[in-house]
Amino acid sequence: MGKRKDVTIYDIARVAGVAPSTVSRAFTSPSRVSAKTLGHIHAVARDLGFHTEGSTYWDEQDPTALGIVLRNLANPVYSDILEGFQAGAKREGYSVIVVASNRSLRQEELAVDAIVTNVAGIAFPASRLSQRALSRFERTLPIVLVNRVSPGYTCVVADIAGGMTTTFEHLTSLGHREILYLSGSDESWVNAMRWRMICEIAPLFNLSVRQVKAHGSGLESGAAVAREWIDHPVSAVIAFNDFVAIGFMQALQRFGYCVPGDVSVIGIDNSVNCLLTQPSLTSLSSGGALIGEKAAELLIWQARNRSSTKRALHKVPAELTVRGSTGALR
């Protein structure tokens, strides 16, 4: 059905008791309008018979889809999270709408604006959106942050402290006493938290730690810091993620070094890539499918309990999978 010509946003604004600009935002950028005002405007618009082709703004049923924003669809870590998220959503009768931001904050905001009225809530894995942007979205619908902690939001993260404890137990059992951390981006919350946990837990095992900045999360970032290890070698390295670890290993091998003979290497994420290198990569999980499933569960709970202001931090286990890239100190 096309739009009734005799009903305009000015009519809606008059009946709803709001400014015409607010009505306009309710239909063009709904995340900029509070949930209460948005619902009121949609109810008035529905009663007046205002309808645009393809609009679902005032569907009588609550949305039965969940949204998830993925920064990089090519990264197997996000694929694992999505797999768990879809499983958790399907179990409760929800479908999933995937937004690919391609690492662009602007694209991420625009894409979320486009789907907010069609989903019951949105999950943001490893998002780098500002607090202001997140607050704007949460005024409209429930959100869950994944592998990021921010006060006032429901967050689900991997148990980094527990995972690092297990990792250091493994390394000390092999005789290692010095650890180098190849860090990721300075903008990454999870990178900062991993380094913090390393610094807090390492002394409990009498381990010496330092970091070198890989300034990224790809293979090339790991390869770029290989020279730093060659100039200042230690017996064990923990990388920000599996990509950085593999890039580092491959660069060392090109220089004639042996893993784990000359250095033991551990990645983080426990992605499928760990099995595609020689030797296979020892890696600490970052939640994977389990964290995605938990995010869906928490998002659905919020959607079904909109009046609740309860927000909490939830943790899932971070498990170490030992493979061929770690060995005894020589």
In a domain, 330, yes or no: no
279 and 312 housed in the same domain: no
196 and 141 housed in the same domain: no
Handedness of CA 137, 139, 144, 145 (dihedral sign): positive
Structure tokens at 257: 């070094």
Considering only residues 48 and 192, tell me which one the structure prediction assigns the higher pLDDT: 192
268 and 281 housed in the same domain: yes
Domain end: 33, 60, 87, which one?
A: 60
In a domain, 321, yes or no: no
In a domain, 328, yes or no: no
Domain that holds residue 10: 1-60
Give percent of the chain with pLDDT exceeding 70: 93
pLDDT category at 284 given cuts 50, 70, 90 is very high
108 and 20 housed in the same domain: no
Structure tokens at 34: 């509070």
Mean pLDDT of 201-228: 94
Q: What's the pLDDT score for residue 243? A: 96
Q: What are residue 157's DSSP bridge partners?
A: 315
DSSP-assigned letters across all residues of 11-35: HHHHHHTS-HHHHHHHHH-GGGS-H
232 and 170 housed in the same domain: yes
| pLDDT for 1 beyond 70 | no
Domain end: 60, 83, 108, which one?
A: 60
47 and 26 housed in the same domain: yes
pLDDT category at 22 given cuts 50, 70, 90 is confident
In a domain, 327, yes or no: no
Q: What's the pLDDT score for residue 31? A: 62
86 and 11 housed in the same domain: no
In a domain, 36, yes or no: yes
pLDDT digit string, tens, across residues 120-143? 999 999 888 888 888 888 888 899
11 and 32 housed in the same domain: yes
Q: What's the pLDDT score for residue 83? A: 95
119 and 153 housed in the same domain: yes
Q: Strands of the chain (E only): list them.
A: 65-70, 95-100, 122-125, 143-146, 154-158, 178-183, 208-213, 236-239, 264-269, 282-285, 313-316, 320-321
152 and 177 housed in the same domain: no
In a domain, 8, yes or no: yes
Taking Cα atoms as reference points, which of 250, 254, 234 lies closest to residue 242?
250
What CATH number is given to the structural domain containing 263? 3.40.50.2300
In a domain, 282, yes or no: yes
Maximal C-alpha separation, the chain = 83
Considering only residues 107 and 184, tell me which one the structure prediction assigns the higher pLDDT: 184
SS3 state of residue 247:
helix
Q: What pTM did the predictor assign?
A: 0.79
What CATH number is given to the structural domain containing 32? 1.10.260.40
Domain end: 60, 83, 110, which one?
A: 60
Of 108-122, 218-232, 233-247, 284-298, which range is least confident? 108-122
Number of domains in the chain: 3
194 and 268 housed in the same domain: yes
151 and 220 housed in the same domain: no
In a domain, 324, yes or no: no
